[in-house]
Amino acid sequence: MSRTSAGTTPDVLVIGGGIIGLVTAWRAAQRGLRTAVADPEPGGGAAQVAAGMLAAVTELHYGEETLLRLNLASAERYPDFVAELEDATGRDVGYRACGTLAVALDADDRAHLRELHALQQRCGLRSEWLSGRECRRLEPMLAPGVRGGLRVDGDHQVDPRRLAAALVAACGRAGVVFHRAWAERLSAAGDRARGASSRTARRWPPGRWCWRGAAAAAASPASRRRSSPRCGR
């Protein structure tokens, strides 16, 4: 496993400690790369308020057939990922293979879900159209006016707060170093990011790669105004 310290130049600098950033850092460290994450609150941000839906079928949209294949392959691998993470940390991440019930509250909702159901069927996906009464049989607390819904047993969910906490723990055990500050500026050579600096002018030079995670996009008003060079080797 990767072992580094705050004064060591990392092979990989991950900017933004959201779910994707933490997974990236954990996997990099597992592969023997000295890895650091720049984020004032790793595992915070959107992970603390997200619903944790892993709904590749229910969240299908027109024109996303190629992305659908990737989403389905990712969903198939998710239980093994969860098992590995829970084994590495001893933490329950709240994973549930419970399916999804999407309900229509009015005529417009019903028309939208009917179109979605037709798209799912054209894509060879398993979903079931239910009447309002059948929806209420599954979820008795639904309003009497529910017009119908889609049942997708293949969808699942995770508790993002537990997941984030487990990933922070896994990263720590793998030797990832956390720099608890916003990365506000990227240093670049040509069109490649070569490091970053914080508001206090602290610099983090990556040895080989700089990865800007989604959580870094909301780092500060200054960072949102500034265009970012492409990250990578």
Question: 174-209 pLDDT, tens per residue?
Answer: 999 999 988 888 777 777 777 788 776 577 765 666
Average pLDDT over residues 115-123: 96
**What single-letter DSSP state applies at residue 190?**
T
pTM for this structure? 0.82
Higher pLDDT residue, 148 or 212?
A: 148
Indicate the helix (H) or strand (E) that contains 108.
helix 107-122
pLDDT digits (tens, 9 = 90+) for 73-109: 999 999 999 999 999 999 999 999 999 999 999 999 9
Q: Could you tell me if 129 and 152 are in contact, meaning their C-beta atoms sit under 8 angstroms apart?
A: no
- Whole-number pLDDT of residue 176: 96
Q: How far apart are CA 26 and CA 175, in angstroms?
A: 9
Q: Which of 10-14, 23-27, 29-33, 124-128 has the lowest mean pLDDT?
A: 10-14
